[in-house]
Structures are given as C-alpha cells and as structure tokens.
Structure 1
Amino acid sequence: MAGIDLSDNKLDYLPETLFANLESLKYLLLQRNILDVLNPKVFRDLKNLETLDLSENKITEFPPNIWEGLTSLTMLQLSRNGLTLWKDFQGLTNLEELDLTGNKISSCESFRSMIKLKRLKLAENQIKILPQGIFTGLHNLLVLNLQLNQLEEIPIGIFHDFQNIATMDFSSNSISQIDRDTFKGLTTLHELHISRNFIEIIKNDTFLDLANLDRLSLYGNNIDTLELRAFQGLNNLTWLLLGNNIIHQLDYGTFDPVPLLIRLELDSNDLRAVEENTFEAFQNLQSIKLGKNAWHCDCKILYLANWIRDHSPIVWEYQPKCRGPGMLGGRPLHEMSFFDVCDGQWLSMQRIPSRVTDKHAKITKD
C-alpha cells in the first residue's frame, strides 16, 4: 500500500492501532479534519512513511515521543492548527520539509536535530524572538519563511550554519533595523524579502556578503535614506523593489553596484528629482516603476524627463507625473521639454529682456 487519504472528513480521534502493521505505507493524508489530541503511539509502525499531512486540524500540542517511529519521514505538514510552541522533538532526522504556517507559535526552542531539513515554513505565527542557536546544525536549509510574525529584530550570527540557504522571507514583521553583519556569510542566498517592516535607513555595505543575491525586496518600509554604498556587493542583483517607502533623494552612484538590474521599483516614494546620470549604470533594465512620487518639474527634472522619453517601453505601471509647480501639476514627465521647465527660469536668471516689440516704441534715425 503506497498511501492513505483520509482528508476532508470529520475525524476527531485516531485509535492507537489504526495504522498497525502498515510498514509499507509511504504517505498519509489527514488534513482538514477536527483532530485535537493524538495518541503518542499512533504512528509507531509507519517506519517507511515519507509524507504526513496533518494540516488544518485543531492540534495544539504533540506528545513528546510521537515522531520516534517515523525514521523515513521527509515531509511533515502541520499548517493551520493551534500550536503555540515548537519543541525539538527527536526522531525527525531525515525530515526535509516542515510546514508550521498559520499556527499560534510564539516560541521555538530549536530545530537542531533536523540535520537534513531543506525547507522550514514558520509564516503567519506570533514569533517575536529568534533565540541564538535556533537554527544550529541546519547546514542543508534552502528556504526559510518567517513572514507575518512579530519579529522586531534579526539577531546577528543566527544564520552562521546556513551553508546552502537560497531564499529567506521576513516580510510583514516589525523589524526596524538591519546591520552590516545581519546577513554575514550568506554567500549562497538568491532571494531576500524584508518588505512591509519599519526599516528607515539602508546603511553602507548592509548586503556586502550577498554576492549571489538575485532578488531583494524592501518595499513597504519607512526607508527615507539610502546611503551611497547601500547596495555594495550586489553584483548579480536583477530585482530591486523599493516602492512604498519615503525615499526623497537618490545620489549619483547609488545604483552603480547593481548594473545587471532587470526590474527596479521606486514608485510611491517622496522623490522630487534625480541627479544627472543616475540611471546610466543599467545595462539590462526591462522594467522600472517611477509613478506616485512628488516630482517637481523645474529645470532639475529635465534629465529624468529625457530619460523616460528614451526608455518609455520599460516605464510602467503608472506614468510619472509632475506634482508641481503651478500649472505643471498633473502633467506627465515625458512631456516636459526645456521650454516647459527651464526656458523661463533661464531667461530670468540671465536677465535677458523680453523679445516682444512694443509697436508704439519710437524709431529714431541715425
């Protein structure tokens, strides 16, 4: 027998001998029932079980010895239950995927016995603190998902055993700061998501060790400052999402470390202008968002207006518009010309007299 599917029933109890002598069973699906308490011996004969799905039940805790017989288990689905605590239960030494999404977990002791774990999903819980040592021994971990928790910080050094990590997601937490050493040593990381937090500044060399990072999501924070070397070291970055922040200035050279960008999002910030040649570092850009900013259409906007006209096929989703001044408010940036934004200002600065001829002016002869 390869597997048993008992999902989508109203099971509230599993007798101790229900799966007795089913040593050949490979998968057992029990999701979407109303199980709340499990007998510690109910799975003891399932020595060859590889997949166990207990998601969407009402389980609040597990007996200490419940996993001891599951020596072949590689996937354990426990999402959408009522768990409040995760202990480092023994017996899951071959586990490769653990899904604890959508519980009420506020504390995790450790995952150190799960030395083969590749995917750890802890999203949509109530985790506030990541204690030192929680990820010790997880050398094979590829994916860590902690979005939609209550984290206020990412402790430095907590990832020191991550030798193969590829994706990390800390979106929708309460993180206010990331430092130079936060992601130190994560040279295999390809995707990093820290959107919808409370970060205010991206400091120089914050991502310096992430040479293989491909995608970085920082949208929906409170970022108002990008230091000049904020993206130093991200030589292979192709996606950079900075929308929905309060960035008000982009210094020339900010994007020099990321010339391979394919997608850049700067929409819904507080940008008024960009310095000359700010976007000239890009070689492969295919998509850029610039809309919903406070673009001030005076002479300083001319570089951006010209750049948008020259790259109109890649500018989306909203066309950038002038916030002002005066009658220019609401007009698309790509329509701005030297005459619109500079001519009158230049004439005023040079004090050149009007070219309008007074038809009543007296004409004198030599």
Structure 2
Amino acid sequence: MWGFTISILLLSLESLRACPDECRCEDKAGVPTGDCEGRGLYSLPPGIPKEVGTLILKNNSLDHLPSDSFVNFTQLQTLHLQRNWLVTLPVSLFSSQSQLTVLYLYGNRLTSLPDHIFTPVPKLERLHLSGNQLAHFSDAVFAPLVKLKTLLLSGNRLQALSPNSFQNLQKLRVLSLSSNKLTSLHKDLFRPLRSLRVCTLNNNQLAQLPESIFRGLHDLYWLTLAHNSLRHLPVNLFQQKQIKHLYLYSNQLQSLHAGQLQPLPDLQTVKLNGNQLEVLPSGFFANLPKLSTVTVYDNPWRCDCSSSYMRGWVRDHGQLVKSQGLQSGGAVMCDSPTQVRGLPMANLTDADFSHC
C-alpha cells in the first residue's frame, strides 16, 4: 500500500517538473499547483500538469476561454481566474471539475452567466464574482450549488433579483450584494438562506425594505445597509437575535421606532451617522448590554424638549459614542434650535431645558 502511494507521489512530482515556461509548478501544502499569475497570458499555456489541484491564472489578459480549456484538469479544487478580461464563459467550461470547491472570477468583464454553468461543480463552496458587469442572472444559475458557503456579487450592475435567485443555497453563510444598482428586494429573496451569517447590501439604491426580508435568518450577525436611500425602516425589521453589527449609516433615515433594537440583545455596533435623524425615541438604546460602538454624527439633531432622552443617554454613555475616526467621546452636535446650533448636546445643562 505504501509503495503504491509513494509511486503516485513520485509520478505527480515528475509531472510537476514538466511545466510550461510561463508557469511555476510545485507542491504547495500537499496540493500540486500550477501558478501562471501575471504573465500577460492571452490563452492557457499548453503543458500544465493535469494533476494540479490548484490552478492560478489571475492577473493575465485572458479574454476568451474555449469550452475544453480545463477538460483534462479533473482533480482541480481551486481555480483562480480573477482580474482578466473575460466577458463570457462557455456553459461547459467546468464540465470536468466535479471536485472544484473554490472559484475566483472577480475583476473580469462578465456580463452574464449561462444557466447551467455551475451544474458540473456541486461541491463548490466559495464563488467570487465581484467586480464584473453582471446585470442579471436566471434562477437556474446558482441552484445546483447546494454546498455553497460564500457568494460574492458586489460591484456588478444588478438592478433587480428574482425571489428564487438563491434557491437551494441553504448552506450559504456569506452573501455580498454591495455596490450594485438594486432599488428593491422581494420579501422572499433571502428565505432559503437559513445559514446566512453575513449580508452586505451597502451602496445600492434601496429606498425601502419589506418587513419580513430578514425573517428566519437566525444566524445572521453582520448586516450592512449603509449608503442606500432608506428613509424609514419597518418596525419589526430586526428580529434576528444574533445580530452583533448593524450598519445603517449614510442613508436618509428621518426617524426610528422605539424598541426597534430591543430584539437584538447581542448588538455590539450600530452606525447611524450620515442620516436625517432629529430625535431618537425614548429608550431606543435600552437593554443592549453588549453595545460598545455607536456612531450618530452628521445628523441634524434637534436639541429641545423632545431630545431629553437622547441628551441624557449621550451624557451617560459618552464612551460608546464614536467620532468619525472611531475615537471615543464623539460629540453629538445640535443642529436646532438656532440658539444652540453647533453646540455639543452633552454640554447643554438642565437650565437649557427649564421651560420644558
């Protein structure tokens, strides 16, 4: 048995020695690897050992891949195709890659994905498609990827998503949809994603959210909704007890509901800076024992009788309030009435509110 294993290893090492000049072929942590990074390649060089488990073709000038490009690489587990010039992919490009678990395609010019391109790679766990030009994809594209854990789609041109876009992705943990052109989300979009932990939706054009959009995501602990056009949030939007980090900055939020954060006992970070908030309802930050970072700067805070809760909370919890550089003690500045405009809210005294 040992003799057979050694023979296989020797054959693999001998194969790695037969490597095209444009690449380095070596064993990395027990994985035969063909590294052809940054060689100005316009096509796949012949002679790469078919036994490679990792193939690195990133940072080249590949703009076209024939459908049989990887037909001989049946042991491939990780494939790096990021930062090339790919516009389209043949539907059968990965037909021989049944062992593939990691695929990097970010930083290309992909405008679409064939419906069944991922059918041959059911073991895929990480798929990086950020920084392309995808405007849409069909419900069939990701459906075969039942083991997928990470899906990155940020920096594309997505404007709308079907409610079945992520069907069958029950094991997905990380989903990035940031920096697209999404204007709305269907209430059932995330329903299949029972294992989702991280969801980034920042830098889109979302003006409103369905109240049930995150319902059932019991493992969600990181949610980013920053840099959208949200004016109001549904009362019961946040019911995910595991959320630790909530980013709502740089929207157009005008008000928040009392008790809106109460279902989040593990909340550590909430960022509300850069909105249109004038007051916070009484008790807004109550019963959040793990809260350690709050940002509320760049809001038009009203410092009058309606702000007594906010003023008291800032005074008593100043160490939690962070400035733009995340230093403690960030000042919450009054915007109105005119007589206190520009003054730190915490500096106001009871005498300033004696008429209340």
TM-score range, shorter chain: 0.7 to 0.9
Which residue number corresponds to residue 298 of structure 2?
A: 268
Which residue number corresponds to residue 336 of structure 1?
A: 348
Q: How far has the Cα of 1:130 moved from its partner?
A: 0.8
Question: Any idea what SS the aligned residue of 1:107 has?
Answer: coil
Which residue number corresponds to residue 63 of structure 1?
A: 90
Paired AA for residue 85 in structure 2: K
Contact 1:104 1:126 in 2 (8 A): yes
Paired AA for residue 75 in structure 2: N
Which residue number corresponds to residue 4 of structure 2?
A: none
Which segment drifts farther, 166-175 or 308-317?
308-317
Contact 2:71 2:95 in 1 (8 A): yes
Q: Find the aligned partners of 2:306 and 2:211 in 1 and give their Cα distance.
A: 34
- Give the structure-1-normalised TM-score: 0.79
Which residue number corresponds to residue 282 of structure 2?
A: 252
Q: Does 1:94 align with 2:123?
A: yes
Paired AA for residue 219 in structure 1: Y
Which residue number corresponds to residue 352 of structure 1?
A: none
Q: Does 1:72 align with 2:64?
A: no
Matched residues, percent identical? 27
Contact 1:168 1:191 in 2 (8 A): yes
Which residue number corresponds to residue 206 of structure 1?
A: 237
Contact 2:96 2:120 in 1 (8 A): yes
Which segment drifts farther, 223-232 or 234-243?
223-232
Which residue number corresponds to residue 14 of structure 1?
A: 44
Paired AA for residue 159 in structure 1: F
Q: How far has the Cα of 1:315 moved from its partner?
A: 4.0
Which residue number corresponds to residue 193 of structure 2?
A: 162
Contact 2:124 2:145 in 1 (8 A): yes
Q: How far has the Cα of 1:115 moved from its partner?
A: 1.2
Q: How far has the Cα of 1:299 moved from its partner?
A: 6.7
Question: Any idea what SS the aligned residue of 1:7 has?
Answer: coil
Which residue number corresponds to residue 178 of structure 2?
A: 147
- C-alpha root-mean-square deviation of aligned residues, in Å? 2.3
Which residue number corresponds to residue 7 of structure 2?
A: none
- Give the structure-2-normalised TM-score: 0.81
Label 1:39 to 1:170 Cα distance change in 2 as closer, same or farther (>3 A).
Answer: same
Label 1:172 to 1:246 Cα distance change in 2 as closer, same or farther (>3 A).
Answer: same
Q: Find the aligned partners of 1:312 and 1:255 in 2 and give their Cα distance.
A: 13
Which residue number corresponds to residue 83 of structure 1?
A: 110
Which segment drifts farther, 3-12 or 324-333?
324-333
Q: Find the aligned partners of 1:203 and 1:186 in 2 and give their Cα distance.
A: 17
Q: Find the aligned partners of 1:121 and 1:218 in 2 and give their Cα distance.
A: 20
Q: How far has the Cα of 1:62 moved from its partner?
A: 1.0
Label 1:310 to 1:175 Cα distance change in 2 as closer, same or farther (>3 A).
Answer: closer
Contact 2:186 2:210 in 1 (8 A): no
Q: Find the aligned partners of 2:288 and 2:320 in 1 and give their Cα distance.
A: 18
Which residue number corresponds to residue 237 of structure 1?
A: 267
**CA deviations over 1:182-234 (Å, ceiling 9, x no partner):** 111111111111111111111211122x1211111111111112122433422
**CA deviations over 1:248-268 (Å, ceiling 9, x no partner):** 221113333644322222211
The structure with more radius of gyration: 1
**CA deviations over 1:77-135 (Å, ceiling 9, x no partner):** 11111100123312111111111111100011230111111100000000011113211
Contact 1:305 1:335 in 2 (8 A): no
Contact 2:296 2:321 in 1 (8 A): no
Paired AA for residue 183 in structure 2: E
Contact 1:166 1:189 in 2 (8 A): yes
Q: Which aligned segments of 4 or more residues in structure 1 are displaced greater than 6 angstroms?
A: 299-303
Q: How far has the Cα of 1:150 moved from its partner?
A: 0.6
Q: Find the aligned partners of 2:283 and 2:318 in 1 and give their Cα distance.
A: 22
Q: Does 1:43 align with 2:70?
A: yes
Label 1:5 to 1:104 Cα distance change in 2 as closer, same or farther (>3 A).
Answer: same
Paired AA for residue 104 in structure 2: Q
Label 1:179 to 1:255 Cα distance change in 2 as closer, same or farther (>3 A).
Answer: farther
Q: Identify the match of residue 5 of structure 1 among 31, 35, 40.
A: 35
Q: Find the aligned partners of 2:334 and 2:164 in 1 and give their Cα distance.
A: 51
Contact 1:204 1:231 in 2 (8 A): no
Q: Find the aligned partners of 2:70 and 2:231 in 1 and give their Cα distance.
A: 49
Which residue number corresponds to residue 361 of structure 1?
A: none
Q: Does 1:118 align with 2:149?
A: yes
Paired AA for residue 196 in structure 1: H
